Structure 1
Amino acid sequence: MIEITANGSPVRVASGSAVDAVVEALTGRRLDADGAPLDGAPLGVAVAVDGVVVPRAAWSSRLLGAGARVEVLTAAQGG
């Protein structure tokens, strides 16, 4: 297990975990290898690791190291 920070809170994840595992844990939704929700409904989130945006297609391959800072941001409308 390693410790990361997800949306400002410490979280322990298995070594070798990728971004998609954190997104699944935070949203409660299962994702396919391309980051699309298996239920077919829009997900509406973006992810940054250590301040760098991770494209959805790379979520399953972007591995997290100890101390990584993950931000899962929800899209919002407004002006």
Structure 2
Amino acid sequence: MNANPRYLKRSATLVLLLLALSACTNKQLYKVGQSYQKSECERAALSDVQFKDCKNIEAKRFEEYERERQEALQTDKP
């Protein structure tokens, strides 16, 4: 039984894509999310003051965020 070369190429591409996506760490995903929120804040700013406020947003360090998340998960358990 011969495999379709087009199918094999698509399958290989999908596998590589999934491997690349799984390589992202929680910290990287957190940083991407923070960057997105900041850029959306800047985009939606209606005045120079709001835009400057967005520029000055300091995101929580990932470690602080993760500690708070773990604490919240612990309090949710029965």
TM normalised by structure 1 equals 0.24
Give the strand-richer structure, 1 or 2.
Answer: 1
TM-score by length of 2: 0.24
Higher helix share: 2
Q: Which has the higher contact order (CA 8 A, sep 6+)?
A: 1
- Radius of gyration: which is bigger? 2
